[in-house]
Amino acid sequence: MRFWEKLSLRARLGLLYAALLAISVVVVGGYSYWNIWQLFIRNKSCHIRARAKPVIEHWLRDNGLAKADSSLSPLKSQTALLLARDLTSRDTVAIIVNRKGDIIANGKRLPEEPVAPAPDEQYLRRALSGENEVTYRGQVKGKPVLVMLIPLRPHPASARVFGVVQMSTTLADIKAILFRHGAMLVSLMAIILILGITTGFWLIGISLRDLQGLLASCNQISRGNFSKVVSVKNRHDEIGQLALSFNHMLEKLEAAFASQRRFVANAAHELMTPLTGLRGSLEVLLRGAQDDPAAIARLSRGMYKEVNRLIRLCEQLLGLSRLENTVNVCKQPLVLSEFFDDFIARARLLAGERSVVLQPGVDARISADPDLLQQVLLNLLSNALRYSATETLIVISWKLLPQEVEIRVSDQGQGIDAEILPHIFEPFYQGKSVVVSGEKGIGLGLSLAKAMVEAHQGTIRITSEPGEGTTVYFTLPLQ
């Protein structure tokens, strides 16, 4: 087993294939050899029987053997000798045996005629008891012979057997033919084995070559190189599909790593802006501005703003990283009307002079984390407040769908250009929208909202018409 485990997949498949091929070739070859041997023997015995039958019948009829007693008399053994001689030829010899099992006639006269084997007791008994087709293989001087026993009856339908004709013929000719056939079969089997095993190994090698490509790619990826794509030209089998999926996965991984790198760069850049502002203010203070109370007040306000921005950025980044683990989502049953009654009060506080309208739909229960849901709505509300004029309306509504509830936040603000919309949920992406009220954002609000909705197995989308307004839709599963 240890040796087997040490082998490569290619060697294992190759050996298994070679073993199976060898077994099947040997079984098929052996079976065909045995079949041909049986066929020859059956043919030969049929032929000899067919030749012997009319001769025996003729002698039974013409020589009065049909009326014989259970044992043949000496006179009748003379007749039997004639029958035996008549049945004997250059390749077949006949002997006649009486009921007692004694040989009463042997057909061999000439030296070139074959020698008859001594009758086999066991088979003779079967023939004497009336069995018609007794055929077996015997030996004469170490050479194989085919022996047939034909019972002698007064007439074919009679149950009385008064003797047995033993016909024997050499099998040397069949042996010679079969030897040639066997030699041909063995060489054919060897050729099939050699060809089969070579092509088998070749095919296995081709099939597994792409797997080796996959292995090389995996090694490259472990070293951080994502550009090594596996070539799968003209392969539609499982390995081709595996390589396709692998390449697909590679693309996704590369995109994920690129987005992660972009994210880190953007985060560093966003951290850099307030920090540079802070350093500038501190430098001015250190250079002697501490004696000017007005400058101190101005710089402190500026620094306070930058620190607030830093805190907001850190909070949002923390929020995003927390959402990567769904354990942090504490779902609980929420009644939509109750939740929105609470939320709208808070929203109106934040909106100040602005009008925020709630358009309730059919009431239902959902299962959601109330803090996260509130965070999503606050992010959307803050965008609506930030990017739309003060006199316009902001509408929050919901609609029940078969399995979920769809919540909408729409404004009548400046809207978003169509080419910007596909990127709007990317972290740190900020469109061209002009800040109407409040401070400039960081570009994390919508990506956070998306992450929070997806943590609830929901979906989020945005539609916008430049100059007319924007609506964000998100779904949450019903309880």
What is the contact surface with Mg ion in residues (CB under 5 A)? 383, 441, 445
Tell me whether residue 102 or residue 315 sits nearer to Mg ion (CB atom).
315
Q: Tell me if 474 contacts ligand ATP by CB under 6 A.
A: no
How do strand 469-477 and strand 460-465 relate by DSSP bridges?
antiparallel
Q: Tell me if 441 contacts ligand ATP by CB under 6 A.
A: yes
Q: Tell me if 410 contacts ligand ATP by CB under 6 A.
A: no
CB of 203 to Mg ion, least distance (A): 60
Q: Which of ligand ATP, Mg ion, none does residue 336 bind (CB under 5 to 8 Å by kind)?
A: none
Residue from 442, 455, 460, 476 touching ligand ATP (CB under 6 A): that is 442
Tell me whether residue 427 or residue 445 sits nearer to Mg ion (CB atom).
445
The helix/strand/coil state of 329 is coil
How do strand 404-411 and strand 332-335 relate by DSSP bridges?
unpaired
Q: Identify which range of 28-36, 283-291, 353-361, 439-447 contacts ligand ATP by CB under 6 A.
A: 439-447
Tell me whether residue 337 or residue 437 sits nearer to Mg ion (CB atom).
437
Tell me whether residue 274 or residue 413 sits nearer to ligand ATP (CB atom).
413
Q: Tell me if 416 contacts ligand ATP by CB under 6 A.
A: yes
Q: Tell me if 414 contacts ligand ATP by CB under 6 A.
A: yes
DSSP per-residue letters across 335-380: EHHHHHHHHHHHHHHHHTTSEEEEE--S--EEEE-HHHHHHHHHHH
CB of 465 to ligand ATP, least distance (A): 11
Q: Which of Mg ion, ligand ATP, none does residue 213 bind (CB under 5 to 8 Å by kind)?
A: none
Distance CA 309, CA 286 (A): 23
Q: Within its chain, how far is the Cα of 220 from the centroid?
A: 25
CB of 327 to ligand ATP, least distance (A): 25
Strand order in the sheet with 355-359: 355-359, 393-400, 404-411, 469-477, 460-465
Q: Can you name the residues that pair with 165 across neighbouring β-strands?
A: 96, 150
Q: Which of Mg ion, ligand ATP, none does residue 442 bind (CB under 5 to 8 Å by kind)?
A: ligand ATP
The helix/strand/coil state of 327 is helix
DSSP per-residue letters across 18-34: HHHHHHHHHHHHHHHHH
Tell me whether residue 12 or residue 346 sits nearer to ligand ATP (CB atom).
346
CB of 439 to ligand ATP, least distance (A): 8
Which one, of 327, 417, 334, 340, lies nearest residue 381 by Cα? Answer: 340
- The helix (H) or strand (E) run that includes residue 167 is strand 163-170
CB of 416 to ligand ATP, least distance (A): 5
Q: Which of Mg ion, ligand ATP, none does residue 458 bind (CB under 5 to 8 Å by kind)?
A: none
Q: How many CB atoms lie within 10 A of CB 343?
A: 19
Q: How many CB atoms lie within 10 A of CB 168?
A: 24
Tell me whether residue 88 or residue 414 sits nearer to ligand ATP (CB atom).
414
Q: Identify which range of 222-230, 285-293, 329-337, 441-449 contacts ligand ATP by CB under 6 A.
A: 441-449
Considering CB under 6 A, how many residues would be counted as binding ligand ATP? 21
Tell me whether residue 387 or residue 474 sits nearer to ligand ATP (CB atom).
387
Site for ligand ATP in 367-386 (CB under 6 A): 379, 383-384
Q: Tell me if 106 contacts ligand ATP by CB under 6 A.
A: no
Q: Which 8-state DSSP code applies to residue 291? A: G
Distance CA 436, CA 284 (A): 31
Q: Tell me if 444 contacts ligand ATP by CB under 6 A.
A: yes
First-to-last alpha carbon distance for the chain, in angstroms, is: 55
Distance CA 239, CA 230 (A): 11
CB of 435 to ligand ATP, least distance (A): 8
Contact 68, 154 (CB under 8 A): yes
Q: Which of ligand ATP, Mg ion, none does residue 210 bind (CB under 5 to 8 Å by kind)?
A: none
Residue from 114, 119, 274, 431 touching ligand ATP (CB under 6 A): that is 431
Distance CA 8, CA 23 (A): 23
SS3 string, 395-460, reads EEEEEECCCEEEEEEEECCCCCCCCCHHHCCCCCCCCCCCCCCCCCCCCCHHHHHHHHHHCCCCCE
Q: Which of Mg ion, ligand ATP, none does residue 413 bind (CB under 5 to 8 Å by kind)?
A: ligand ATP
Q: Identify which range of 45-53, 77-85, 197-205, 413-421 contacts ligand ATP by CB under 6 A.
A: 413-421
Site for ligand ATP in 454-473 (CB under 6 A): 470
Q: Tell me if 445 contacts ligand ATP by CB under 6 A.
A: yes
Q: Which residues bind ligand ATP (CB under 6 A)?
A: 379, 383-384, 387, 411, 413-414, 416, 424, 429-431, 433, 441-447, 470
